Structure 1
Amino acid sequence: MSALKKIGILGGTFDPPHIGHLRLASHFAKILHLDELLLIPSGEPWQKGSAITPAEIRFQLTEAAGIDLARALLYLQIPTQVSIDRIEIERSGPSYSIDTAKTLRERFGPQASLIWLTGADSLMHLPSWNSWRDLFQYMNFAVASRPNYDLNSEMSPEINELLASHQIQEPLALENTPAGLIYIDEGLSVDLSSTELRIRLKTSSRSEIASEQIPSHTLQIITNLGLYQ
């Protein structure tokens, strides 16, 4: 058993949270033996423009999704604690992942394994993030593949270079190393995006889409507040 505390971090706009987020979170909670999983809604997502749902509402939606995630982990007998963190909402200015990484490293100490959970498309856009190379001083990355998404054809020279120096093949390495590694997982393919979901929620098949792709407690809040119509 690893002696390091293992913290999974799933950040995002969560506008809205969807089943894909929960599948990714529970998958990595299981294979990485996470002690804790933080869902972190962004406060001011600087790459998303201004047409987003207010941060406090997105936090409510994420809290609700966390209830379904915690229940799923309990059902699957995965002993990972789920927390919804206000770290980016309470920090003024644009929500940069590097600031979050530094704060979490201070919180959990130098020995904890901090693991940023994300999809393959986000990995490809990593060079557009603020101080992206510095992220590996503070955390590891666990990346889930997406169906019909060819990493090799999408890969920039910068990402090729990154993987050459940081990629590992076995997830166990993430459990025993505080930061600096990338694991790409081919065992989960999630093909949902919040952007596409918002578009589809405006169609006549809204109710059918929502019940299949949005966690039940989140859907209840969306319905009560009349969001995404």
Structure 2
Amino acid sequence: MKKIGIFGGTFDPPHLGHLIMAEEVKNALNLEEVWFIPTNEPPHKEKAMTRAADRLNMLRKAIAGNAFFKINTVEIDRSGVSYTVDTIRTLKKEYPTYAFYFIIGADMVEYLPKWKQIEELVQLVTFVGVRRSGYQIKTDYPLIEVDVPLVTISSSFIRARLTKNKSVTYLIPSSVHTYIKERQLYEKV
């Protein structure tokens, strides 16, 4: 059975914290691949600042060079609000022999009781929780906990810096930064 990590998110923009988290979980659980699944519209936070096409292009640039990282566009293709249970149902139907490990930060672990059809979801996928500054990993749901280097970078932090024309060097891949500058994303409105 092929073991696949699933890493969903807005990736607005993707940053080194995302990449470190995915790599550490891949190594800790001996996953064969990690699939990044950019959301179309997240149900639990604000709408993305940038179009799905731009977030997808940034993500492609961010994971370039890592043969174990892939992108799956199931949520963008479906359009509308993205619910994890719908995504996992689709993936299980398309890949019935794969075992899926859904990677989430500690902030999302705390939110699990509010996820749509969580009782069904925990039967379909194994959750993997990673530490995040300011949050504890506590849940009544089954979960594998993986320690990763604590990197307190967030997409909102990067967007705020870009809006103020501050440096994001070493926070995002340089190819993503170049793309952001070329497309004039996150500029102060």
Same-fold call, TM > 0.5?
Answer: yes
Equivalent pair of 1:15/1:58 in contact (CA under 8 Å): yes
Superposed CA offset, 1:43-102 (max 9, x none): 12233334521111111111111115x1xxxxxxxxx62211111001032111111111
Are positions 1:117 and 2:103 aligned together?
A: yes
Identity of aligned residues (%): 35
User: Over the residues paired in the alignment, what is the CA RMSD in angstroms?
Assistant: 1.7
Matches within 5 A, 1:195-214: 195-204=156-165, 206-207=166-167, 210-214=168-172
Q: Flag the structure with larger Rg.
A: 1
Q: 1:51 to 1:25 in 2, by over 3 A?
A: closer
Residue among 146, 160, 164 paired with 1:185: 146
Q: CA deviation at 1:128?
A: 2.3
CA distance, structure 1, for counterparts of residue 48 and residue 55 of structure 2: 13
**Is the partner of 1:125 in helix, strand or coil?**
helix
1:52 aligned residue: 49
Matches within 5 A, 1:131-150: 131-150=117-136
Superposed CA offset, 1:170-201 (max 9, x none): xxxxxxxxxxxx11123432312111221122
Are positions 1:98 and 2:60 aligned together?
A: no
Equivalent pair of 2:41/2:48 in contact (CA under 8 Å): no
| Aligned residue-pair number | 187
Return the TM-score normalized by structure 2.
0.91
Superposed CA offset, 1:6-52 (max 9, x none): 00011100000000000001101111111121011001223333452
Once structures 1 and 2 are overlaid, which stretch shifts more, 5-14 or 140-149? 140-149
Are positions 1:215 and 2:165 aligned together?
A: no
CA distance, structure 1, for counterparts of residue 48 and residue 81 of structure 2: 15
CA distance, structure 2, for counterparts of residue 225 and residue 129 of structure 1: 34
Return the TM-score normalized by structure 1.
0.76
Structure with greater helix share of residues: 1
Q: CA deviation at 1:223?
A: 1.1
**Is the partner of 1:143 in helix, strand or coil?**
strand
Matches within 5 A, 1:7-18: 7-18=4-15
